[in-house]
């Protein structure tokens, strides 16, 4: 990949007007501590969450018990809207990676809001962007896939550099073993990323971009 736009992660906030976003964030909001499950796979979709601050991860458990970390989401995102469109059942867990603040919008209110503000097209664009994101993460050598995931983390978080993540989390996300992730982290080196038991620190955004052949421009 050589185009900067390959890392343009879209959020709902990017796609709607200030008025529409303000309308969604006017609903009652709550603060959630790190390591909280906000939405649980298999439960009914009674509401959506509008993420105002903080980071979450989307994790699906397959029938054989294997977990897959599908995506990371940051401020400006909508969470749980798919369950309102596909049978009403959550397809994955949404778990906080940090302290998060989110507005809670009841399902019927959200459906009405989508109609009143003509959000069907932005939501379709958002779904397409998410599908592309999940496809691209499996493209390239392991250290390149890892670099891609780290750059996306920085972008969706709004510029954060330190994340509560394990090597197992990253392994689930890019579809390799934990040991393979450890080797890839070593290959990238401390000039790009440092890692401890439960935390990943991005130390060189531009170096990660160069690893992927992207032009400068943090």
Residue 156, C-beta contacts closer than 8 angstroms, at least 6 positions apart? 9, 11, 55, 72, 73, 74, 77
Asked which of 112, 133, 154 is the last residue of a domain, the reply is 133
pLDDT band for position 2 (50/70/90)? very low
SS (H, E, C) 33-44: CCCCEEECCCCE
Question: CA of 211: how far to CAs of 131, 141, 147, in Å?
Answer: 24, 11, 7
The residue written with tokens 């018990």 in the block is: 65
Residue 126: the pLDDT is 87
User: What is the per-residue pLDDT across 10-36, written as a single tens digit (0 to 9) for each?
Assistant: 789 988 899 999 999 999 999 999 999
Answer for the pair 120, 57: CB distance below 8 angstroms, yes or no.
no
**Which residues span the domain enclosing 101?**
4-133
The Cα–Cα gap between 105 and 114 comes to 12
Closest CA to 97 of 46, 147, 37: 37
- 146 shares a domain with 123: no
**Does 217 reside within a domain?**
no
- 149 shares a domain with 74: no
- 111 shares a domain with 170: no
User: What is the per-residue pLDDT across 79-132, written as a single tens digit (0 to 9) for each?
Assistant: 999 898 766 889 999 999 999 999 999 999 999 999 999 988 988 888 888 888
Asked which of 85, 104, 133 is the last residue of a domain, the reply is 133
User: What is the per-residue pLDDT across 134-192, written as a single tens digit (0 to 9) for each?
Assistant: 888 999 999 999 999 999 999 999 999 999 999 999 999 999 999 999 999 999 999 99
User: What is the per-residue pLDDT across 203-212, written as a single tens digit (0 to 9) for each?
Assistant: 999 999 999 9
Residue 167, C-beta contacts closer than 8 angstroms, at least 6 positions apart? 178, 181, 182, 185, 195
pTM equals 0.90
Residue 85: the pLDDT is 74
Question: CA of 139: how far to CAs of 134, 135, 142, 184, 212, in Å?
Answer: 10, 7, 9, 15, 11
The CB density around residue 132, as the number of other CB atoms within 10 Å, is: 13
pLDDT band for position 216 (50/70/90)? low
Q: Which two tokens stand for residue 160?
A: 């954060």
Residue 133: the pLDDT is 86
pLDDT band for position 215 (50/70/90)? low
Residue 33: the pLDDT is 98
Query: Does pLDDT of 213 surpass 50?
Result: yes
- 147 shares a domain with 125: no
Asked which of 108, 133, 158 is the last residue of a domain, the reply is 133
The Cα–Cα gap between 102 and 92 comes to 18
């Amino acid at each position: 990949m050589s185009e900067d736009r390959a890392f343009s992660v879209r959020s709902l906030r990017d796609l709607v007007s200030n008025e529409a976003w303000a309308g969604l964030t006017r609903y009652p909001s709550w603060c959630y501590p790190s390591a909280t499950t906000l939405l649980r796979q298999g439960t009914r979709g009674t509401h959506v969450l509008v993420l105002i601050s903080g980071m979450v991860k989307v994790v699906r458990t397959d029938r054989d018990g294997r977990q897959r970390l599908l995506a990371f989401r940051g401020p400006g995102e909508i969470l749980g809207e798919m369950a309102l469109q596909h049978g009403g059942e959550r397809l994955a867990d949404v778990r906080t990676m940090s302290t998060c603040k989110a507005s809670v919008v009841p399902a019927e209110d959200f459906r009405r809001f989508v109609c009143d503000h003509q959000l069907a097209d932005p939501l379709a664009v958002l779904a397409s962007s998410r599908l592309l994101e999940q496809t691209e993460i499996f493209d390239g050598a392991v250290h390149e896939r890892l670099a891609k995931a780290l750059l996306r983390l920085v972008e969706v978080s709004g510029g954060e550099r330190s994340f509560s993540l394990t090597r197992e989390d990253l392994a689930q996300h890019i579809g390799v073993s934990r040991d393979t992730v450890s080797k890839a982290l070593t290959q990238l080196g401390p000039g790009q990323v440092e890692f401890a038991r439960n935390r990943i620190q991005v130390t060189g955004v531009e170096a990660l971009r160069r690893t992927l052949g992207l032009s400068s421009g943090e």
